[in-house]
Structure 1
Amino acid sequence: MKNLSRLLLAMLLILGYSNANAQDENNPWQITIGANAVDAYPSGDGVVGNAQFGETIFDEYFNVSDHWNILPSLSTISVSRYIKNGFSLGVAGSLNKIENWGDVPGSDPEEINSVDDLSYYGVDGTIKYNFLEGTTLDPYIGVGGGYTWIDEIGAGTVNGTVGLNVWFSENVGLTLQSAYKHAFEDYLQTHFQHTAGISIKFGGTDTDGDGIYDKDDACPEVAGLEAFNGCPDTDGDGIEDAKDDCPNEAGLAELNGCPDSDGDGIADKDDNCPTVAGLKALAGCPDADGDGVTDADDKCPEVAGPAANKGCPWPDTDGDGVLDKDDKCPDVKGTVANAGCPEVTEEVQKTLNEYAKTILFDTGKSSIKAQSEAVLGDIIDILKEYPTAKFTVEGHTDSVGSEKLNQRLSDSRANSVKEYLVSHGIDAFRLSSLGYGESKPIDTNKTRAGRANNRRVEINLVK
């Protein structure tokens, strides 16, 4: 029992070692559990009973009934660790009961040398070489050494091994092995030990759970496909994410995995017009007239013209977006809504009337005083900036005098301002005049200041 304790301790150390080390190969660990048979024929290089060495070594190799000592229960366990290039290193422990220990020399016919249930223990280390890795039939050879006890007698051995693994699946198989164990001491018989057992391979690491072991997985922390060595193809377009410029959108191989919605050969991500087929030179946008200006920027998309004219054969001199042929103010920047002419703003309108209310007339008359020429010049300058705008010159009076007289005076003064403007270069068709008399006061007529404010001229835009 002392030797059995040694054996169990050795097995615990082996298993502890296997669980403590990194497992960075595909199923690098193999454990085999089974039964063993010990065969001492030919016997005789030591003294166990009266046996002497005889015959050739393989004469009765398969004489199971006479020579094999089989313990029909779990009697052997081995653990091996794959190194590389077909080589692995393993340790095995076994126990048995010996009843037949070779032949009795000189007997005719030969007599089996029976012994009285000797206990057998062995611990062996082996370096193995597998010829056909990854195949169903996996033969191997091995060399090594160990220590064997029969009862209380023990000695070291040098071992030669041949075996065969038959794998039923990637991880489970049957192992058959035969080892020749040559003793270093005369008191321990040289013998064969045959084993058969179930083998389990384990220890491969698959961090991302994609069925591809980390050592073969180019993307060990991200689940992927076997076709891409474990790397993902998120959009399923057959291009792995690392080589896919658009990993979240299914695309074309020739565009590095990016889509091309309009089929113009330009990836949507680089296409400024992704829904309309266009030209590569214009970043995927069309140019119907072929003038080098994209249709979206071409003011004349069906007629070729220079880029300087925004694709039109006609220029836009003032650069307001209205071609000269359609621009009523080709030399003045305006708005498209106003046919290329500038639009009168509220601020301009306010400025006009601030100037107009300072126009002075002779008392009770419509003649304009000479000192008003300066402000009239400012008004003319403003009107010339808006050559298509039309205005109404409006006259207003205070309530002093009769209403009929005031109406006639306001008409006369408004017309007088209009005629002045026309005489100084403003087109007559742009101006009209109208008097309102005392009907639209902007202040009280009860004070001098109020009446002065009510006596005024306004120039208002015709909308």
Structure 2
Amino acid sequence: MKKITLLLFVVFCSWYNAQAQGSDWTLGAGVTAFDFGVPAKKGLSMSDWNWGPYITASKKIGSMIQIAPSVSVVEIRNFSDLFPDELFTTGQTAASVQGSLAGQLHFLPEKKFDPYLTLGGGANYLRRQTYGVLEGGLGVNYWVDDLIALNLQAGYNYMFDFADYLHYRGGFRFGLAKPKDSDGDGIPDKKDKCPNDKGLKQFAGCPDTDNDGIVDGEDACPAEAGLKEFNGCPDKDGDKIIDKDDKCPDTPGLAQFKGCPDTDGDGLPDPDDACPTEAGKMELQGCPDKDGDGIADKDDRCPEQPGLVSFKGCPDKDGDKIPDVDDACPDVPGIPEEKGCPAKKPKEEDLLKIAKSINFATGKATILKLSLASLDNLANLLKQYPDAKIVVEGHTDNVGNRAANKKLSQQRADAIKNYLVKKGIEANRIQAIGYGDERPADGSTDIKAGNKTPQQRSANRRVEIKNI
């Protein structure tokens, strides 16, 4: 056993100067212990541990996966105590030699703290017999520096046709020597002009990210394939202005416009030209103004006629604030309700004002003289609108006899109509209706509720004149 330990120590020293994590292969060695007690339900006790050296190696086959062959030589001192059926001489020892091949899944490769899961199998030579073994476990490497790591591992071993056992390991891991290649591009650092950047052999280890034949260190546009005449920068539109300086890299353009075209030749580059295919004025962002009204044709409803901004470039000849394009009577001032033509009816507010100024003798249908001027104004207003028709409504409060009130309201409406007819207004243009107390001024449908206060009753005694 001492000779084996010495041999392992010599091997360790021979590889000490190797790189650990930078190598595909590593070598490991240390002390292992087999514990038959726990699987045999005797509990965990170091007195049941059987010690010996082990040696192992591992090779990376992926960023997180390694394969690891190993050999352990363990002296089982209490063999007969553990397995009395196998040997009848108490205290007899037995040697166990185990060889295995395992796969390792490393969760944090290239880190100082490097935990892993191991699964594998092999054979155990014990008491001149060979037994198949399956093993699985957890381990961890702690890289002290770039050259050496501490290793701990524990696992369970299933031995066919014999007893299962736990194994515990503690030791070191070393890398196998090979030329240092910091960037992993297969070119040793001593020959690599770019040792920290993964590169290509034809460029002495320097990268050419965009594959344009110009190494990144000399390429003004290392992420985009370009031309040698532009130091590796592209010119997609072929206008001799490199894309990174070209405001319009996909369209051939002019140097004076930083690579952008001026399709209509009006001195404004297309990206700044609101009308890039029509020559126009600078002050209108390159758009034309055929009628010269200061409104670009594209925004002008009447591009052939000078107009006003308020009417989107259309004129208003009659000044009625209705643009000619929307005016049915563009030469005569009118109103919006008649599409720019003169009004056909008096304004409702004018009729309301006249109605409020008409008064009668108390309890009679006699129009007071002071109201006649208002009726004359109404007659003149109706003459201005020969097609207009009106309705004259008489209203009272609810004081007194209801039938008498309704009759009085009709008489008063008739009196106004008769006066207007005498002034030359056709009778068929005027309707006269007496409602009595049926329609309180506040709109109430409850006649009593609409006549509770003196103010309500006063408002209810009225004449209303409306357009039909």
TM-score (norm 2): 0.38
TM-score (norm 1): 0.38
Greater relative CO (CA pairs within 8 A, separation 6+): 1
